[in-house]
Structure 1
């Protein structure tokens, strides 16, 4: 009897070991949830919904979008971090959730490195430095000269304290050696209203939000924040062409909970990269100046580490803290 029981246990162990890779190979067998940690309508939501639609086709299972906004992306990110590590709940992360929030919030319910398994850096979206037409500057160098001539006279608007746009402005101040005053708003919409009205002369904004205003001349676009120029404005220089080393942008990346099996991560990576590399998806993303990356998990892990390292001194100098 003891021999039979031992044999039975050994068989169970053998079958369990054999079943594990089979489960990974057949993943997924039911719908997935893609948590977008922001409200519907923003650039992250747009990217997420495009990716979810194509991933559904690639995986043969529906990828359901779940918008869980709140606390600058912390609530939705924490929910995914605490989910089962089986690949069925994944996160559309950003520079805010995985680089800035851990540096700015005094209390954060997750660790951006330890609590997540990187899947893929999907796309990047440039920000833009723009001014009201009344500002007598037509390029970055002229704006820097104006600001240096009258320290503290000029101010810039952003979508809020501690946001990527606020810190884009702080990096500009540091590299240009200028004193311009930050005016935070509750979102890009209210910030744009005041800049368009001439109440605030300068704005750092997501390029998609300001594109039409720049095209119609209601704003002057002085420079994009990426190292290269944006295809939608090929004649607009990158800020880095004047200020060496300047680079900021919004990025979207896919993460799973830490401990998700490597085989499942590989399947998600394959589906996500095929989704953003699809010609129709790329064309849609290009409409709001997003550039497809489609990285490996290891490349995304290194990207997160480099972003945290880049933003740490900038956040410290800005004094941005949120309780």
Structure 2
């Protein structure tokens, strides 16, 4: 090799980012998966399940690192500011991956372009519920009463920006009803207060409320998707109830810093898809509330490109809801 050619190659290598040079033998050390939620919940358990399967497939441990706080902003920012080398990934929900952008606006320390989708792990609809002795037998009953009696109903939620809270906002925006929102620290407290009669209705994850419905403590008015849930086949959908705009899915995924080499993103996405096809993984996710993925991903596969397109659609959807309701994080 001539001296001039060696110089030219050296100059080209200097222009390439380090992750691109190192991607052929990636990974050579443990990978960190930042979870922006507290440990122990169903979403945390789903993250750890995927981390375990990814570690086995990639040949390096995937270490879970819980960074809860500020509606997922703390953990998300930590990933955005990390080196885009594939060794730091983000476990994301619809909240921190889509809803936070219109809700917090310019106050967020990052933008959608700072992250790229890797793959979708699980998804489940929300459920609009009342206590079992409620006079509201259908979602139509509840909406009709709320229209005739503004601010007379109390809606319980887990806080601004959560999927279930935004489900309530979407119902209000779509129907024009005015209700009083009561925020609680967690879904368990919401259900307790609903059963006690402190609040009139709530939106909740389908897994959290399904057992209470079967026990006769709660009544499901509608699931927020187009098809009925296998977990509660007797509960109609919001489409069947006459409110086709009220579609809201709680979903969980993995994202990476935007500059992460595409070869790494594609590899992790492919290994995620392979893991999701394992019967044991499907059974475990189903037990945690993540049923089949009823999301409009091209080809039915959770490829990074398809997931990126879906995230953009979700951001647009929740931006419209925030604009219609005037919701803003304080």
Q: C-alpha displacement at 1:15, in angstroms?
A: 8.0
Instruction: Name the structure 2 match of 1:101.
Output: 100
Q: C-alpha displacement at 1:192, in angstroms?
A: 1.7
Instruction: Name the structure 1 match of 2:252.
Output: 252
Instruction: Name the structure 1 match of 2:146.
Output: 147
Instruction: Name the structure 2 match of 1:306.
Output: 313
Q: C-alpha displacement at 1:33, in angstroms?
A: 0.6
Which consecutive unaligned segments of at least 5 residues does structure 2 have? 294-300
The one-character-per-residue Cα deviations of 1:264-314 (angstroms, maximum 9, x if unpaired) are 111111111112221101011111331344511111111111111111121
Structure 1, 181-190 or 6-15: larger mean CA deviation: 6-15
Matches within 5 A, 1:209-224: 209-224=208-223
Q: What SS does structure 2 have at the residue aligned with 1:221?
A: strand
Instruction: Name the structure 1 match of 2:59.
Output: 60
The one-character-per-residue Cα deviations of 1:141-171 (angstroms, maximum 9, x if unpaired) are 2222333343322221000123221110111
The one-character-per-residue Cα deviations of 1:4-25 (angstroms, maximum 9, x if unpaired) are 75354245468888x9878433
Instruction: Name the structure 2 match of 1:9.
Output: 7
Structure 1, 230-239 or 23-32: larger mean CA deviation: 23-32
Matches within 5 A, 1:194-273: 194-242=193-241, 243-273=243-273
Q: Does 1:316 align with 2:315?
A: no
Structure 1, 207-216 or 30-39: larger mean CA deviation: 207-216
- Conserved? CA contact 2:207–2:288, under 8 Å: yes
CA distance in 1, matches of 2:228, 2:202: 18
Structure 1, 285-294 or 210-219: larger mean CA deviation: 285-294
Q: C-alpha displacement at 1:231, in angstroms?
A: 1.5
Structure 1, 212-221 or 286-295: larger mean CA deviation: 286-295
Instruction: Name the structure 1 match of 2:298.
Output: none
CA distance in 1, matches of 2:247, 2:141: 19
Matches within 5 A, 1:288-299: 288-293=288-293, 294-299=301-306
Which consecutive unaligned segments of at least 5 residues does structure 1 have? none
- Conserved? CA contact 1:36–1:44, under 8 Å: no
- Conserved? CA contact 2:125–2:250, under 8 Å: yes
CA distance in 2, matches of 1:276, 1:224: 24
Q: What SS does structure 2 have at the residue aligned with 1:114?
A: helix
Equivalences, count: 319
- Conserved? CA contact 2:71–2:161, under 8 Å: no
TM-score (norm: length of structure 2): 0.90
Instruction: Name the structure 2 match of 1:34.
Output: 33
Q: What SS does structure 1 have at the residue aligned with 2:239?
A: helix
Q: C-alpha displacement at 1:212, in angstroms?
A: 1.5
Matches within 5 A, 1:67-216: 67-105=66-104, 107-111=107-111, 113-216=112-215
- Conserved? CA contact 1:162–1:320, under 8 Å: no
CA distance in 2, matches of 1:173, 1:206: 18
Structure 1, 28-37 or 172-181: larger mean CA deviation: 172-181
